[in-house]
Amino acid sequence: MRGKPTSLDIAHLAGVSQPTVSRALRGSPMVNEETRKRILAIAEQLNYKVDKNASGLRRQHAGTLALLLFEDPTADESHINPFFLPMLGSVTRACARHGQDLLISFQQLSDDWHAEYGDSHKADGLILLGYGDYLAYQGKLKKLVEQGTPFVRWGAVMPDQPGLSIGCDNVGGGRLAGEHLAALGRRRIAFLGDASNHYPEFLDRYRGCEDALQAAGLSLDRALQVDAESAEDSGYAAAMALLERGLPFDAVFAASDLIAIGAMHAFHERGLRIPEDVAIVGFDDIPAARIATPALTTVVQDTIRAGELLVEALVRMINGEPVDSTRLTTSLVVRKSTGAGA
Amino acid sequence: MRGKPTSLDIAHLAGVSQPTVSRALRGSPMVNEETRKRILAIAEQLNYKVDKNASGLRRQHAGTLALLLFEDPTADESHINPFFLPMLGSVTRACARHGQDLLISFQQLSDDWHAEYGDSHKADGLILLGYGDYLAYQGKLKKLVEQGTPFVRWGAVMPDQPGLSIGCDNVGGGRLAGEHLAALGRRRIAFLGDASNHYPEFLDRYRGCEDALQAAGLSLDRALQVDAESAEDSGYAAAMALLERGLPFDAVFAASDLIAIGAMHAFHERGLRIPEDVAIVGFDDIPAARIATPALTTVVQDTIRAGELLVEALVRMINGEPVDSTRLTTSLVVRKSTGAGA
DNA sequence: CTGAAAGCGCTTACAG
DNA sequence: CTGAAAGCGCTTACAG
């Protein structure tokens, strides 16, 4: 036998027809138990693997999911948001459990990705991860829906959104941050992050924090809000801009840990003490949050569960089963950047 | 037209035969320029994409590379070595440039991955990343070579290794660390990391450091070497074990940044000052190295270039072109953990 | 329970 | 330069 064995090779060796081999291998109930065992044994011995291309072609599907990670147009090559790493791990493992292969690709929001996958049968569905301007994104999502390409995205769950999303409860997370800072007696809280409908997740975090502060008789002063994207240098710049304004503040809620860490650099440079002068809360609990000095208090998202849900939802969608958007609960991990905790 | 358009649909519309469409789309030189343009225009308009399964089946290849990331059997779900993140990004982008799709998968060293990919035509070749016991790994690599599955791995370049590898110059990197510590006047240098042939990269780093110290009239005392894997808790435990020994030391060269950061925790806990009492050098320059307090002096590997080389080498190998193992140069970034730098 | 037949959508000799 | 034909290795009605 030369080259890779085929189902026909196995059929010859087992003394059955090729379709019977195919049935036996796929676990069809209409194959005699004896026959199946014989076939399985031979397949095992030859190290036979079903040809993915042939099977995919015949069944008109790929058995493959594609993970598209969107990056900031500004992001330099080496910086992928570390927040996505555990999620990627979780998605990968979940795919394996579901018997799906996983294709990954980095995309610019501007690319032609919406057409690339479905039509070529490279993947049966898409998992979309990544920050970026939501309004720019939305149009593409609509096209995907029109084309009938199954997809799930990680992000804020919103009414009237095209397609389905799995996200954390950003409002709830923001609320946790606000409650914590209020309970610590902080009064003038700054928000670093773009709080507009271009970044619905950040906006929800802002609103959640605002809710909590209002419930405590405080408010989130818009004059203390500075736009920032989820990147250290952006957080640094935002903190500097905040200081420039010359308004008093005693706490910062950063829309992400990367922003928070950048801001901490800025405060250190300017001689502000954390948490004495400024308490800081981040969002995401990336590995750096624990390592930073002082260690960063932050809102934790369950990225592992998120990855699993993304895959489950997509697989169900591909199978035509009903699926809903899901919001995952968040929790707060208190560390020294707010003067409490370990 | 219902469903995805096929090349036959385009043929009808263009008034040519289906094979001509195929030729035109693939840029065959034997198609009339006019005809090609007409076909391309129609294809564009219909948003036609070549069916990957059909094309792959006919051509007997996948147009896909698989990235296999090996994890410690001990590693908990959420901890992927952050060192691999930029490499993963780079591999992904390089694949896109080479027109290859990228499948990713996490594997245990013990899994049956060596048979999984080639035979099923899921991928034309494998990129292998990950630490782990090399001796356990080697057997699988040999099998891949026997099967004729094209693969490249990231790791120490060694004589007589099965297949090909791209790695950094670990000896050179270790030498940089040793020279730096010697130049700072440190005399008793500890090494944290498994320095055996189970971990050839760590062993090379150890040897490089040893070389440099000997050149400076010093030596790397084996009594100051403690085994550790590339993980924070392992580094922490190793540092504690080192302290237990009660031998004097004034510097630590950690085989990786994760080990170094774990060790720093241990030293902080025990009241040792860094760098006054112990200078520390790591390896990898992961993001946390910059964020740690004090910031960690470390040996930098060019992970971006590494990713590109891995893909290039694999693609050439698949095309039957000659390829060689490559060792990338390293550099030292000096930070406060050795009392110098910013 | 099993087999003969058709066909998924391409690519590639083979003719012309 | 173009077309008719074959075939990649499966899966799935259709018969029996």
Q: Provide the CA B76 to C1' C7 distance, Å, integer.
A: 47
Burial per residue of A317-327, b for 16 or more beta-carbon CB atoms within 10 angstroms, e otherwise: bbeeeebebbb
Provide the 3-class DSSP secondary structure of residue A248: coil
What CATH number is given to the structural domain containing B23?
Answer: 1.10.260.40
Q: 């806990």: which residue's tokens?
A: B269
Protein-contacted positions of strand C (CB under 7 Å): 1-13
User: CB of residue A7 closer than 7 A to nucleic acid strand D?
Assistant: yes
Cα distances from B233 to residues A140, A314, B200, B247, B287, in angstroms, run 44, 36, 21, 22, 18
pLDDT tens digits, one per residue of A203-252: 999 999 999 999 999 999 999 999 999 999 999 999 999 999 999 999 99
Provide the 3-class DSSP secondary structure of residue B177: helix
Identify whether A2 is part of a domain: no
A178 and A278 within one domain: yes
Using a CB-CB distance cutoff of 8 angstroms, which residues of chain B are in contact with residue A116? 49
Q: 């189902």: which residue's tokens?
A: A7
pLDDT tens digits, one per residue of A62-74: 899 999 988 765 5
Q: Does the distance separating the beta carbons of B49 and A116 come in below 8 Å?
A: yes
Beta bridge partners of A331: A300
Q: Provide the CA A31 to C1' C1 distance, Å, integer.
A: 6
User: CB of residue B23 closer than 7 A to nucleic acid strand D?
Assistant: yes
**Which amino acid type is present at position A251?**
A
Identify whether A57 is part of a domain: no
Identify whether B110 is part of a domain: yes
Look at residue A74 in the predicted model and tell me its pLDDT. 55
Nearest chain A residue (CA) to B70: A89
A298 and A253 within one domain: yes
User: CB of residue B21 closer than 7 A to nucleic acid strand D?
Assistant: no
> Of A90, A93, A102, which has the smallest distance from its Cβ to B103's Cβ?
A102
B144 and B40 within one domain: no
Instruction: For B224, list phi and psi in degrees, rounded to 5.
Output: -100, 15
A90 and A193 within one domain: no
Nearest nucleotide to the CA of B55, by C1', is: C10
Distance CA A166, CA A90 (A): 14
B213 and B128 within one domain: no
Protein-contacted positions of strand D (CB under 7 Å): 1-5, 7-13
Distance CA B108, CA B130 (A): 10
Instruction: For A287, list phi and psi in degrees, rounded to 5.
Output: -55, -35
Look at residue A111 in the predicted model and tell me its pLDDT. 73
Split into its structural domains, chain A has a count of: 3
A315 and A272 within one domain: no
Distance CA A192, CA A280 (A): 10
Q: Could you list the residue range(s) of the whole structural domain that residue A311 is in?
A: 64-167+303-328
Look at residue B1 in the predicted model and tell me its pLDDT. 41
Distance CA A232, CA A238 (A): 10
- In the structure encoding, which two tokens stand for residue A39, read together? 């076939």
Nearest Cα to A101, choosing from B64, B2, B276, B330?
B64
Nearest chain B residue (CA) to A122: B52
DSSP B56-120: HHHHT--SEEEEEEEE-TT--TT---TTHHHHHHHHHHHHHHTT-EEEEEEEETTSSHHHHTTTT
Nearest chain B residue (CA) to A4: B119
Cα distances from A206 to residues A183, A212, A227, A281, B47, in angstroms, run 18, 10, 12, 12, 41
A157, A228 Cβ separation under 8 angstroms: no
Question: In a structure prediction context, what are the per-residue pLDDT tens digits for chain B, which is 342 residues long?
Answer: 457 889 999 998 888 999 999 999 888 888 888 888 889 898 888 888 999 999 999 998 889 999 998 876 555 555 678 888 889 989 999 999 999 999 999 887 667 777 777 778 889 999 999 877 888 888 888 988 888 889 999 999 988 889 999 999 999 999 999 999 999 999 999 999 999 989 999 999 999 999 999 999 999 999 999 999 999 999 999 999 999 999 999 999 999 999 999 999 999 999 999 999 999 999 999 999 999 999 999 999 999 999 999 999 999 999 889 999 999 999 999 999 998 654
- In the structure encoding, which two tokens stand for residue B246, read together? 């009660």
Identify whether B254 is part of a domain: yes
DSSP E strands in chain A: the ranges are 64-71, 101-108, 125-129, 151-154, 164-168, 189-192, 225-226, 251-254, 279-284, 297-300, 326-328, 331-333
Using a CB-CB distance cutoff of 8 angstroms, which residues of chain A are in contact with residue B47? 115, 119
CA of B267, closest CA in chain A: separation in Å?
14
DSSP B287-316: HHHHHSSSPPEEEE--HHHHHHHHHHHHHH
A127, A68 Cβ separation under 8 angstroms: yes
Q: Does the distance separating the beta carbons of B88 and A96 come in below 8 Å?
A: no
Q: Crossing angle for the helix pair A52-59 and B52-59, nearest 10 degrees?
A: 140
B287 and B210 within one domain: yes
**Which amino acid type is present at position B212?**
A
Identify whether A55 is part of a domain: no
Using a CB-CB distance cutoff of 8 angstroms, which residues of chain A are in contact with residue B68? none
B238 and B178 within one domain: yes
H helices, E strands: number in chain A: 13, 12
A298 and A174 within one domain: yes
Cβ-in-10-Å burial (0-12, 13-18, 19+) of B136 comes to: exposed
Q: Does the distance separating the beta carbons of B288 and A50 come in below 8 Å?
A: no
Cα distances from B67 to residues A81, B113, B147, B288, in angstroms, run 20, 11, 18, 25
A200 and A142 within one domain: no
- In the structure encoding, which two tokens stand for residue A136, read together? 């720019």
Look at residue B176 in the predicted model and tell me its pLDDT. 98
Nearest chain A residue (CA) to B293: A293
How confident is residue A340, by pLDDT bands cut at 50, 70 and 90? low
Identify whether B143 is part of a domain: yes
Instruction: For A18, list phi and psi in degrees, rounded to 5.
Output: -65, -45
Of the candidate ranges A23-27, A287-291, B282-286, the one whose mean pLDDT is the lowest: A23-27
H helices, E strands: number in chain B: 13, 12
CA of A82, closest CA in chain B: separation in Å?
8
Nearest Cα to B152, choosing from B142, B165, B137, B135?
B165
**Cβ-Cβ contacts under 8 Å for A326 (sequence gap 6 or more):** A157, A166, A167, A309, A313
| Average pLDDT for A138-157 | 89
**Cβ-Cβ contacts under 8 Å for A247 (sequence gap 6 or more):** A188, A221, A223, A224
Identify whether B57 is part of a domain: no
Neighbours of B45 (CB within 10 A): 11
Identify whether A56 is part of a domain: no
Q: Closest CA to D5 C1' — which residue? A: B19
State in Å, rounded, how far the first CA of chain B is from the last one: 65
Look at residue A1 in the predicted model and tell me its pLDDT. 41
* Chain B 29-88 residues in 7 Å CB range of strand D: 29-33, 35, 54, 57-58, 60
Cα distances from B53 to residues A47, A61, A117, B298, in angstroms, run 22, 9, 12, 46
Percent pLDDT > 70 in chain A is 95
Using a CB-CB distance cutoff of 8 angstroms, which residues of chain A are in contact with residue B106? 89, 92-93, 96
Provide the 3-class DSSP secondary structure of residue A225: strand
B80 and B16 within one domain: no
User: CB of residue A57 closer than 7 A to nucleic acid strand D?
Assistant: yes
Taking the Cβ of residue A337 and every Cβ of chain B, the question of whether any pair is shorter than 8 Å is answered with no
A189, A213 Cβ separation under 8 angstroms: yes
- In the structure encoding, which two tokens stand for residue B6, read together? 């096929």
Using a CB-CB distance cutoff of 8 angstroms, which residues of chain B are in contact with residue A50? 120
What CATH number is given to the structural domain containing B123?
Answer: 3.40.50.2300
In the stretch 194-253 of chain B, residues with CB closer than 8 A to chain A read none
> Of B52, B80, B105, which has the smallest distance from its Cβ to A120's Cβ?
B52
**Cβ-Cβ contacts under 8 Å for B317 (sequence gap 6 or more):** B125, B150, B151, B152, B164, B323
Q: Does the distance separating the beta carbons of B261 and A121 come in below 8 Å?
A: no
Taking the Cβ of residue B108 and every Cβ of chain A, the question of whether any pair is shorter than 8 Å is answered with no
Taking the Cβ of residue B298 and every Cβ of chain A, the question of whether any pair is shorter than 8 Å is answered with no
Interface residues, strand C, Cβ cutoff 7 Å:
A 16-20, 23, 29-33, 35, 54, 57-58, 60; B 3-4, 6-8, 18-19, 22-23, 25-26, 48, 50-51, 54-55, 57-59
Cβ-in-10-Å burial (0-12, 13-18, 19+) of A145 comes to: middle
Neighbours of A341 (CB within 10 A): 13
pLDDT tens digits, one per residue of A71-130: 765 555 556 788 888 899 899 999 999 999 999 998 876 677 777 777 788 899 999 998
- In the structure encoding, which two tokens stand for residue A163, read together? 């397609």
- In the structure encoding, which two tokens stand for residue B288, read together? 């946390």
A190 and A287 within one domain: yes
Look at residue A339 in the predicted model and tell me its pLDDT. 84
Distance of alpha carbon B256 from its chain centroid, rounded?
Answer: 14
Cβ-in-10-Å burial (0-12, 13-18, 19+) of B159 comes to: exposed
Look at residue A73 in the predicted model and tell me its pLDDT. 57
**Which amino acid type is present at position B300?**
V
How many Cβ pairs within 8 Å bridge chains A and B?
Answer: 136
DSSP A126-146: EEEE--S-HHHHHHHHHHHHH
Q: CA dihedral in degrees (B80, B81, B87, B93; nearest 10)?
A: 20
